[in-house]
Amino acid sequence: MDRNIPDFIEGYGEVKRTGNLFDRALLKETAGRNVRMYEPGHNKMRESIAEVLREIDLKDGATVSFHHHLRNGDFVLNLVMSEIEKMGLKDITVAASSIFPCHEILVRLIDNGTVTGIKTAYMSGPVACAVSEGRLKNPAVLMTHGGRARSIMEGETHIDAAFIAAPGCDRLGNINGVTGKAACGALGYAIADAEYADKVVAITDDIVDYPLYPQEIKQNVVDYVVKVDSIGDPKGIVSGTTQVTKDPVGLKIASDTMKVLAASGLLKEGFSFQTGAGGISLAVAKELETWMKKNEIKGSFVSGGITGYIVNMMEEGLFKALYDVQCFDLEAVRSYRENRNHLPMSADLYGNPHNSGCVTNDLDIVILGATEVDLNFNVNVTTGSDGRIMGGSGGHADTAAGAKLTVIVSKLFSARTPLIKDHVTTLTTPGKTVDVIVTERGTAVNPLRQDLIEQFKKKNLPFMTIEELKEVSDRFTGTPNPVKTDDKIVAISQYRDGSVSDVIRKVIK
């Protein structure tokens, strides 16, 4: 049929007239996303990961990505990287949303040159040690969760192949995290990978009849489906203690934090909230629960990684909804499966500063931890007191930047290691986004928040300067010796917008 198409179309160039719909070259990549076209009846199922790797023709220097919703129970990264090693590929960059001790295989691959680059929002365990020792050829790039999504979507991080651990999957690649023996809940960190990678491979241990429902990642972005014996151990998803601390010191910090929240003026009908999965953070949530019931106040939403404790608060009617980017325990997985108001959230929606509806930018209050804080309120959650990598921003810098009130809760010192230092070893979260530090021996308020200082004075809430808090700490711990490093940069710490917040150098033993 003559459709009167000119031989040249602005923006497309010369039109190729082949007559076969699936051979026409009027395709255009947009925003880094590749168009996929397959013949009707195309079979996505493959017998093995090795077969998929051969078919997608992965090359030396490629970037492969993984998500971490199975956390320390993930098997998929190891399965794929083992096959990549067997193929003899070199100079591979691993763009995993997070790396855990279970991913120790990467150490061998770093040493033999299979892996020469890492981009991630968090790393711990043997891989973090290897990077700290300077064994990775290129500096690792440590992003925020929102920054990672932004980097993928804006083309800074180009993914050749994304491998998605799929607890529930059908033959066309519809995926969810709530069915199957490895159910892990929300899959928010895999969304950008699925939408922007050149090739997307669903790896599952549970093929269900088509169509799978519910669907979090849909068939139109998935190229291949591979069934394996097991994608991971769901018990490994448990993060932190997921239990309220019973430590008297931690309970005092939580009680004092609640006084800060109450005095802030933000605890009003419809307020929003986020906290972590650690014992002190959950103790703050318990204090908040008691306060909300007593004052008959209900919130709008809780965001972030969700725990069973937060689920209970929602199911009791204290919050209208949960925005979930990952589940921190199996009770959260259960809720994500059953509750309509337990909502999915991609990393883009969660923390990408370059969109029009970033959830972290709508937070009233966030409770965060810290490894170190300095006199300018800068926070380190990336390296330990020995200068070695032991974590990363994750959502720390994203939420601190977005929330109206950012509160750091931590013991003032632990094992004679002080929280407050003149300068943090690594800057993860800039001090201008941090408002209050609560410890068992005092509370410090950022002088940039004169409004909070005046509010606390009106409420007769005791607080001190951060210099005074450091003096208290120094009396117990003394001043620690600075970490000794050489000139070799082993990792780059990025802020959420992609700018460099700090560099991490090789530690001298």
> pLDDT tens-digit profile of 227-245?
999 999 988 987 555 688 9
Of 311, 254, 249, 319, nearest in space to 282 by CA: 254
pLDDT at 277: 86
DSSP state of 232: B
pLDDT number for residue 6: 53
Give the pLDDT band (50/70/90) at residue 41: confident
Give pLDDT, residue 33.
53
Confidence of residue 14 (pLDDT cuts 50, 70, 90): low
Q: Of 393, 348, 328, 315, give the one whose Cα is nearest residue 141.
A: 393
Residue 321 parent element (H or E): strand 319-327
Distances (CA, A) of 283 to 54, 255, 268, 317: 50, 8, 20, 19
Confidence class of residue 23 from pLDDT cuts 50, 70 and 90? very low
Q: Is the dihedral of CA 423, 429, 434, 436 positive or negative?
A: negative
pLDDT value, residue 190: 98
- Tell me what the mean pLDDT of segment 135-139 comes to: 97
The contacts found for 342-345 with CB under 8 angstroms, 24 or more apart, are 342/306, 342/311, 342/314, 344/186, 344/187, 344/188, 344/216, 345/186, 345/188, 345/303
Residues 168, 185: Cα–Cα separation, whole Å: 10
- The reported pLDDT for the residue numbered 1 is 36
Largest CA-CA distance found in the chain, in angstroms, rounded: 87
- The pLDDT value recorded for residue 296 is 98
pLDDT tens digits for range 352-368: 999 999 999 999 999 99
Determine the pLDDT at residue 10: 47
pLDDT at residue number 57: 92
Q: Which of 25-29, 60-64, 473-477 has the lowest mean pLDDT?
A: 25-29
Reply yes or no on whether the pLDDT at 12 is more than 50: no
Dump pLDDT digits (tens) for 248-268. 999 999 999 999 999 999 999
What's the mean pLDDT in 63-70? 97
Distance CA 297, CA 441 (A): 30
Query: Could you report the per-residue pLDDT of 201-213, keeping only the tens digit for each?
Result: 999 999 999 999 9
- 21 vs 498, more confident: 498
Q: Name which of 465, 448, 437 is nearest 379 in CA terms.
A: 437
Q: What is the mean pLDDT of the chain?
A: 92
Given a cut of 50, whether residue 28 has pLDDT beyond it is no
Q: What is the distance in angstroms between the CA of the first residue and the CA of the last residue of the chain?
A: 74
Does residue 396 have a pLDDT over 90? yes
Average pLDDT over every residue of 84-99: 98
Dist CA 460 CA 451 (whole Å): 14
Per-residue pLDDT, 17: 41
458's torsion region: left (phi>0), alpha (psi -120 to 50) or beta? alpha
pLDDT at position 410 is 97
The pLDDT assigned to 20 comes to 39
